[in-house]
Amino acid sequence: MSRRSPPLTEAAMQAAERRIPELAAKSGYAAYKQALAQTGAVMVKTSKGVLVERKADGSFTVIKSLPPGKRVKVGLVLERAKQDVTG
């Protein structure tokens, strides 16, 4: 026989939904740490305006500086520019 859970109240559902960003951040950080812990794992990420390669031992190598981000308006749809593939 299966047990039925009592129905959630609106307040309980809102409380659970408020925790989603916190749980997502913790899960992302845990996945990052797990990837670094694997043998020979290297992560490439952005940090303070530069692209860095971070290794499991904590060392890092700067790959390149990144240009400043561009501000865009909410709802703006960007389209990929077509590239000439002749070669």
User: 6 vs 87, which has greater pLDDT?
Assistant: 6
Using alpha carbons only, what angle is made at residue 47 by residues 33 and 19, rounded to the nearest 5 degrees? 55
Q: In which band, very low, low, confident or very high, does the pLDDT at 87 lie, cut at 50, 70 and 90?
A: low
pLDDT in the model for residue 64: 92
**Average pLDDT of 72-83?**
85
Pairing mode, if any, of strands 42-47 and 50-55? antiparallel
pLDDT at 80: 83
pLDDT tens-digit series, residues 33-76? 888 787 667 888 887 889 998 887 888 889 999 888 778 888 98
Question: What ranges do the domains of the chain cover?
Answer: 10-65
